[in-house]
C-alpha cells in the first residue's frame, strides 16, 4: 500500500488557512497556491539522490554534493494543477512539464480526459502529478492511468487538500503511488466537494466563478 504524507510545516499550514478563506481574492489565492507548491516541492524532493563532485572554491579543492542528474517530470492536471507549476519550478527549474487535461463531469463526477502531452522520455523519468484537490479521487486515478499507459513507472501524487475518500480510492487504484498533501480534510459533501476544503480550486485560481 502506498504511503500518505501530510506536510504539517507551520508555513504550509498558515498559507493553507489563508487559501481556504472565502475572503481571499483571486490574486492572493493564486500567489498563495504558488507559494505552497514551492514549499511542498522542497519537502517532496527530500529523497532526490545526490552524487559527489569535486569543485574549486576560491580557497581550496572541495568534494561536495549535487543532485544526481535524476530526470524529474511534473504533470499538472488541467486546469487547477497549473496554479502549482511555477512554484514547483522555482525550486526545480530543470524539471520537464507534462500536462493531463481532465474535467469532472458535474453530473456523474467522473473525470473526462481532453488532453495529454508528456515529455518524450516518459520511461526514464520520475513523475510528480500535481493538483490542488483530491476529492473523489477520480481525476488523480485517471491522470495516473494516463501516465502509466504511456510508460511512466515512478509516480508521486501531490495536492493541497485531500478528502479521505479520495485518498482511499487513489491508494486502491495505484498502491505504488505515494501521496503528499498539505491538509487532510473531513469528508466530501453530496456534490463531491471537499469539506471544509477551499471551494472550486480552478474557479478561484482563474476567477471564473
Binding site for ligand URA (CB under 6 A): 80, 133, 135, 192-194, 197, 200-202
- Residue 197 interacts with which of ligand URA, ligand PRP, none, CB < 5 to 8 Å by class: ligand URA
Beta carbon of residue 137, minimum distance to ligand PRP (angstroms, whole number): 5
The answer to whether residue 203 is catalytic is yes
Euclidean distance between CA atoms 66 and 146, whole angstroms: 32
Is residue 109 within 8 Å of 169, Cβ to Cβ? no
Nearest C-alpha neighbor of 9 from the set 135, 202, 180: 180
Known binding residue 136? Answer is yes
Catalytic, 200? Answer: yes
Grid cell digits, residue 28: 492572493
Catalytic residue among 30, 104, 125, 204: 104
CB-nearer residue toward ligand URA: 95 or 201:
201
Can you count the helices (H) and strands (E) in the chain? 6, 13
In whole angstroms, what is the distance from residue 62 CA to residue 79 CA? 45
Name the minimum Å distance from CB 200 to ligand URA: 4
**104 annotated active-site:** yes
Q: How far is the CB of 203 from ligand URA (least distance, A)?
A: 7
Rounded to the nearest whole angstrom, what is the least distance from the CB of residue 13 to ligand PRP in the complex?
Answer: 21
Compute the CA torsion angle 123, 128, 130, 136 (nearest 10 deg). 80
| Pairing mode of beta strands 4-6, 72-78 | unpaired
Phi and psi, residue 55, nearest 5°: -130, 165
Q: Is 179 in the site for ligand PRP (CB under 6 A)?
A: no
79 binds, among ligand PRP, ligand URA, none (CB under 5 to 8 A by kind): ligand PRP
Out of ligand PRP, ligand URA, none, what residue 166 binds, judged by CB under 5 to 8 A for its kind, is ligand PRP
The footprint of ligand PRP on residues 94-153 (CB under 6 A) is 103-104, 109, 111, 131-140
Integer angstrom CA distances of residue 158 from 9, 20, 146: 15, 17, 16
SS3 63: strand
What residues form the annotated binding site for uracil?
A: 194, 199-201
| Active site residues per annotation | 104, 108, 200, 203
What residues form the annotated binding site?
A: 79, 104, 131-139, 194, 199-201
Amino acid at each position: 500500500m502506498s504511503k500518505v504524507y501530510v506536510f504539517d510545516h507551520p508555513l504550509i499550514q498558515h498559507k493553507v488557512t489563508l487559501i481556504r478563506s472565502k475572503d481571499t481574492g483571486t490574486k492572493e489565492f493564486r500567489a498563495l497556491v504558488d507559494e505552497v507548491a514551492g514549499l511542498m516541492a522542497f519537502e517532496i524532493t527530500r529523497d532526490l539522490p545526490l552524487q559527489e563532485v569535486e569543485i574549486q572554491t576560491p580557497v581550496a579543492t572541495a568534494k561536495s554534493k549535487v543532485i544526481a542528474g535524476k530526470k524529474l517530470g511534473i504533470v499538472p492536471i488541467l486546469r487547477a494543477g497549473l496554479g502549482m507549476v511555477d512554484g514547483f519550478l522555482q525550486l526545480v527549474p530543470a524539471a520537464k512539464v507534462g500536462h493531463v487535461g481532465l474535467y469532472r463531469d458535474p453530473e456523474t463526477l467522473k473525470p473526462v480526459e481532453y488532453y495529454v502531452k508528456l515529455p518524450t522520455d516518459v520511461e526514464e523519468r520520475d513523475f510528480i502529478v500535481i493538483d490542488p484537490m483530491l476529492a473523489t479521487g477520480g481525476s488523480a486515478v485517471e491522470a495516473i492511468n494516463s501516465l502509466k499507459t504511456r510508460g511512466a513507472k515512478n509516480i508521486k501524487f501531490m495536492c493541497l487538500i485531500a478528502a479521505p475518500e479520495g485518498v482511499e480510492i487513489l491508494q486502491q487504484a495505484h498502491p505504488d503511488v505515494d501521496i503528499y498533501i498539505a491538509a487532510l480534510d473531513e469528508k466530501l459533501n453530496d456534490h463531491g466537494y471537499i469539506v471544509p476544503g477551499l471551494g472550486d480550486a480552478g474557479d478561484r485560481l482563474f476567477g471564473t466563478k
